[in-house]
Amino acid sequence: MSAEHPEASVEPSSARRYVVLALKIVVSIVLLSLLFSKIDVARLWAIARRASLRWFAVALAIYSLNMIASTWRWHLLLRAQEVHLRRRWLFGSFLVASFFNNFLPSNIGGDVIRISDTAKAAGSKTLATTVVLIDRGLGLLGLALMAATGASLMQRMSVGPVGPGMLWAGFGLGAMIATPALLMPETATRILQPLRVFHAEWVDERINKLTYALTRFKETPAAIAGCFIGAVAVQGILVLFYVAIARSMHIPIGFAELAVIVPVSFIVQMLPLSVNGFGVREATFGFYFTRLGLPLESALLVSFVGAALIMLFSLSGGVAYLRRTVVN
């Protein structure tokens, strides 16, 4: 009987994952079908034919800067925890993580790679996980700040359900959650004490490591500030990436407008509604483009080309992963 119990507990979990994945696929297909039913294919093709390969190359070069800046942020946080790894090696790890994020039906696969790659040097999976989560959290704050600032400066983009007020509220809420964790680590970890009811010794060990990590961050505010500034810079680079894509097809939209659309689209994609944001991302671009007087075809092309170039770039992470597998 005991041998059958684990199997019985795994099967429902696997079934749920497949059901959730199927629902995400359905949402993506339905949203994309609705969008394509509203476009003029001839106009779509006419805009696409104007695309400049030179500008695509510029976009890829800009995206490489995004990867470099993201690696720098990660390196900065690890160094604050006295985990010393070469930036070149971390860049390779980040490429592999990007590959998994873009080619798995979930965006957490890359985080697993980053944690696994740094756990040994950190001496603890809990510490490696904490660094990645702090990096993620500061990245979200940078994303919200970019979107809120862009929406405030570009008043005509405030139409729709996600306006400046909501974006600033989201940024403020995120800051309110992050600040106690970084400035009062003992208070933050005390909140986790009720988890001791499950396995006191195991939970205590993790809480102690988490407290240590948060205390180290409190003692190195320059690392946190640098990571946050880097997060804002990363969002700015991503906006420039989409500006280059729009320029490649002579679509008249600039940095100010895309400084709202791109961050909002990334925020919406985080909702577990579709496969890697497909459909949801395009609907977001379409919503804002049409309110700027631009055709829906332009929105779909900018969104799809952006996703395609990101996936193309992340293939280098797949190559890095294969090389790593062969060497090991």
- What's the pLDDT tens digit per position in 301-316? 999 999 999 999 999 9
pLDDT tens-digit readout, 221-274: 999 999 999 999 999 999 999 999 999 999 999 888 898 899 888 888 887 788
Q: Higher pLDDT residue, 318 or 184?
A: 318
Q: For 123-219, where are the alpha helices, taking DSSP H only?
A: 125-153, 164-183, 185-190, 200-219
Express each pLDDT in 143-168 by its tens digit. 889 888 877 877 655 555 667 778 88
Mean pLDDT score across all residues of the chain: 85
- Report domain extents, the chain: 41-327
> Which of the residue ranges 2-11, 96-105, 143-152, 301-310 would you say has the lowest mean pLDDT?
2-11
Q: What is the pLDDT of residue 3?
A: 44
Whole-number pLDDT of residue 2: 42
Instruction: Give residue 296's pLDDT.
Output: 94
pTM of the shown model: 0.86
What's the pLDDT at 199?
67
| pLDDT value of position 71 | 96
Is pLDDT above 90 for 131?
Answer: yes
Cα 46 to Cα 249: distance, rounded to the nearest angstrom = 10
Q: What is the pLDDT of residue 197?
A: 66
Q: Is 199 helix (H, G, I), strand (E, B) or coil?
A: coil
Q: Is the pLDDT of residue 122 over 60?
A: yes
